[in-house]
Structures are given as C-alpha cells and as structure tokens.
Amino acid sequence: MYQKQGSTAGTNQNGHHLLPATGDSTRSLPLLIFSLVFIVSALFIGLRKRKWFHYLLAFVVFSSLFFISPVADAEKTSSIKSATSASVPQNQPFTQQPEKINGFDYVGYIPIFNSDKDLAAPVTINYVDENSKHIHDPQTLKGEYGAKYDASTTAYKLKINGYTLDVDKLPNNATGTFSNKSQTVTYVYKKNPVTAAGITVRYVDENGVEIHAAQTLKGNIGEGFDVSTSKYKLIIDGYTLDQDRLPTNTTGTLTDQPQTVTYVYEQDPVPAGDVTIRYVDGDGNTIHDAKTISGNVGDNYDASTSEYKLAIDGYTLDQTQLPTNATGTLTDQPQTVTYVYEQDPVPAGDVTIRYVDGDGNTIHDAKTISGNVGDNYDASTSEYKLAIDGYTLDQTQLPNNATGTLTDQPQTVTYVYEQDPVPAGDVTIRYIDGDGNTIHDAKTISGNVGDNYDASTSEYKLAIDGYTLDQTQLPNNATGTLTDQPQTVTYVYEAEDATITIRFTDVNGNPYQAYDLTTFGDGSLSAEYPNLEQYSYQLDYDQSIHLQNSTIPDITVPTKIGDSYTLPDKVRFYILDPNGNRVDELHYYDENSAGHEIFSLSNGSRVPTNVSGTVTQPNTVITYTLSTDVGFIPEP
C-alpha cells in the first residue's frame, strides 16, 4: 500500500503511517479536548434535567464520529498501478519486495485471506520395519491449519500381517497440530519371528569319526549365531583342536536351512610300540641287522622305502612275499615287518599273457612277465587281467595258470573275452486257442544278442483257467538264442468242456410243474374237453413233450470255455391234445357267463439276464421263470 508523498492522512501523532483495520488511528489534541468537554457537559445536564438518556445517546453518536473518522480517512484508498501476481508452493515461505512508485511512499501491505479456512500441510503416516524398509502403504492426514490431528488410533496404528508394532519405538508425534510444514509419523514394526532350522555343532577326528556328542543351537530366522565360544568350541580329553581346520561358519545368521559347523580334533600323541623291520631268507634265517621305527600311536609309518627295504648283497628281495604291513599306523602294540630274500636267482622263461576272443583271435597286444626260476608270478591282477573296450572277460573261461611259479620254460596265460552284448529283438510269448484267438496277455523276454532264453518254464508256459495246453502243438522254439530280430513263441490251448443248463422255475424259484388243466377254472375245462387229463405240453425250444403236473427237467447243452451262445428271450410250452395236435387255446364259460381261455405256458416278459454271452465257467445256468398264459373271452 502506498500514500502520496507529503500527505498526513493515515499517520499518527508520531508521523507513522497507518494501515486500515489495524486498530491505529489519527487523533488531534484539540479535537480530543473538545470531545472530553462535550462528554462531561452532556453527563451533567442529563443528570440535572433527568433527561440523561437523550444526552447519553447524543454523546455516543458524537464520540463514535470522533473515533471512526480517522480510520475512515486511513481506509480511503485507490489503485495507482495494475496488480501483479506470483505463484508460490503451498505452505512455503514467500517474500515480495515492494516496487518504488514515483510520488508515493510504501506504507505496508494488507493480507488477503480466503473465505474458506486455510488447509495445513499434510501429516504422513509411514509403516517401516527395523531396517526402515516400508512394509505397508503410507496414509495421509489432512486438516486445517492449527487443528489437532490424532494418528494414534487403530485407523492409523495398524495391525500388519507378519509384523508386530515395536512399542519401544512409538512415535512421539502420533498426536499434534496441523502446521504449514509437512509432518511425518513413523510406526516401526518388528518382523514376527519364524523358527529357523537348527545349527548342529559336530566334533570329529581327522577321519571324520565323531568323538563327542553333537550340540544343537536353535532360534529364529534372521537371528545371528556364534558357536565359536567355549560353550561350543570344546576341550575334549585326549584330543587337541586342529587350529588349521577351524570351521569358517562358526558365526552367521539362522535361516530356514539346517547348517552344520564341524570342529576337527587331533588325537593327543601316545608313545607307540616300535615297528621292527627284519631281514630273513626263505628259511627264516636273519641275513641283516633289524631296523626300528618309533613314534606315537596314530602316526603313519612307511617301511617300504629304500631306508628299510634294503638291497642286500647276494640276495634278491622276494617280491612274492612282500610284507602286507610295510606301511601302516603305529599302535600301542609292537609290530614286525619282515622282508624275505632269496639268494640270487637264475633267469626264467617269460610268462606271456594273451588276449583273444571266443574264436581265438587276438584283440589286444600281449603282456610279458619276466623273472627268475622259482619266482612266483601273478597275472590275475588288473595289470594283466585287462578291461578291453568293446569286450567283456569270459568268467567261464578264466585261465587256471593266472598265478604260478616261473620256470626255465616259457609259459602262456590266455584271457578269453566275449564281445559286448548288443540289445536283441524281444521274444514274445503268445497264448491262443485252437482258432487263434488270444486268451491271455502276452509275455516278453528281453536281452542281448547271443543270450539264451527259455520260455518253457512255468513263468511262461502258463496254466490258464478253462483251458488245457495242447501238448500236440507245443512250440519248437520255446528255448533258443536271442538275435537281432524279434521272435514269437506261441502256446496253443484247448478250451475245456463246459455246459449250459437251461432251468425252468415258477415265480417263487421252485422247479416248475406243468399246469394241471383238469384243475383250471375249478375243473370247468373238463366238461368242455373230454379226456382232458390226456392233454400234454410241447416245449418250443427243443420240441420235448411234457405231461401235466410233471416237473420240467433242466436241459443241458454241451459247450466249451470261450464259446459264445445265444438263447431265445422267450420260451413257450404249447398245449397238445391226446392226438398230439397243437391246441391254440382252451376256453369255457363260468356260471356268470364269463369267458375264460388258456393259451400256453411261458416266461412272458421275464427275460433271463444271461440269455447270451461267452462261456467263462464250467457250468452256466440260464433260468426261465414260467407262468400260465390266460385270458378272458369278450362277451358275444
């Protein structure tokens, strides 16, 4: 805001500029004295004349004009230059330097407020773990400048799966006041502990043999561990910890995987019994002073070096009797290593080791063993009994002279090899009946070319229910040799005899008795048909004749296992007169003139469930349930 230079409007008695609505005003001393006199006079007259209310009102009006007028003076403003605007970030400090305008003095500024209350800077609530890593989306609180906020409620102090709020690190600004500066409330959570796989601390000697019970350390994933302390790095009687083989994982972090820390110990030295090295001839006579090796229990010794395996003039070390304990370990007991020598030998004939196939063809260069007469030789070691690519040593033809004694004559040791097998074509064993129908799943024999096979055993020559092996058609290739071509062995079986039994029952499952016509209709038929007792029945299935009141016998049909069969859905017993003629129906009228008739005996709609199928058992029974076919004669 600016004021014309030299103007006294809007200045106080000290000459300071005033701003509108600041509570400051201009008042001259004469005017102030006049106002006071006026107020006192008005009060006096009012009290005397009892019209104090009127005078008091006049006083109020006058004094108001007195006090308001300077302010009104100060508020008389006008625009002297177009307004300017500037954009600044919300809730950030801002300073605007006033411009210099000719003829005017800068006297101050008037802040302009929005009609709505000002919003404060937001409060952000963060959720982090102990490493300050965010574990949940932040929330934001907004409000008016100066208003209270509360982020300590359950709406903001959240329960987060897998974490627990760290009550030792609760924020001290969870409640507060909105300001013009952004604020952050941070809740710190601890990750819920998860049981880790254990740490096993083992104690072993140099050979990995456990010398003390293992210890176990347990805890939660992420926790540190230290098994380098005396609690775990033990002092074990009779052993010393090997400082050169200390484990590198004695400290670390527990995980979901088991971990093993192994301490290796050396056994403490114990004076051992001496090893005495003796030198004798073939008869056990000493031919040189003995030597001695001393040390501690567990130390290795080696008496196979030239220091102990001596060259003795006039003698040759017997290589066939070299001591098996020339090297070993010192114990608490004395040991003896004996070298046997022979007097200088006579050169012997060589032993030649040959390598041939089954046809005698050489498949590898020969090897030779030389020596002196009387020396033992051994061509059964891996140095001579060779592994040859593409061939396998024939264990059934191993030479019986692979070991022996050198003589003045040359000798030959021959190893025979078989060529490595080649996968052969399978032998398929089939099982069929006389018509070539498969009656059992096939079996298979596999192997390599040249292998023998035998399909004549009970594993392949099967006993099959309902069938008998045809001994006249046994396969001539039930045994043989596998080749590179597939082969088939076929066993032919004869189906065993079986029967199909056709049975007739009444509705109660009892053997069926042919209906007695003389009793039909309380004997009324007898009056209509003379000699009715001589009537009979004929079965349509096999034309067999059956008398009245007789039990219908079973019909047996021979067959074989595996045969298919089909019987009629319906069987019928037709009525025959005494002359053997079929009678379509018999009828009569009762006393009520109702007509009745009888046609035949049949199973009607009761069709057996197995009237067709395949014979799978020695006896198949098909049962027909019979009843009498009767009817009524319509009235004429």
Cα–Cα distance for residue pair 518/417, rounded to 1 Å:
97
Q: Is the pLDDT of residue 121 over 60?
A: yes
pLDDT digits (tens, 9 = 90+) for 372-409: 888 999 999 999 999 999 899 999 999 999 999 999 99
Q: Residue 131 in 3-state DSSP? A: coil
pLDDT at 598: 73
Cα–Cα distance for residue pair 575/562, rounded to 1 Å:
37
pLDDT digits (tens, 9 = 90+) for 558-593: 999 888 999 999 999 999 999 999 988 888 766 654
Say if CB 485 and CB 427 are below 8 A apart: no
Token couple for 430: 């089939």
Q: Residue 317 in 3-state DSSP? A: strand
pLDDT digits (tens, 9 = 90+) for 472-524: 999 999 999 999 999 999 999 998 899 999 999 999 999 999 988 888 777 77
User: What mean pLDDT value characterizes the chain?
Assistant: 85
DSSP character for 22?
S
- Domains of the chain in start order, with CATH, are 123-191 (3.10.20.320), 199-267 (3.10.20.320), 275-343 (3.10.20.320), 351-419 (3.10.20.320), 427-495 (3.10.20.320), 497-633 (no CATH)
Say if CB 385 and CB 415 are below 8 A apart: yes
393 membership: H or E segment, kind and range: strand 391-393
Q: Which candidate, 385, 374, 375, 382, places its Cα nearest to that of 413?
A: 385
Category of 256 on φ-ψ map: left (φ > 0), alpha (ψ -120 to 50) or beta: alpha
Tell me, yes or no, if the pTM score tops 0.75: no
298 pLDDT band, cuts 50/70/90, is confident
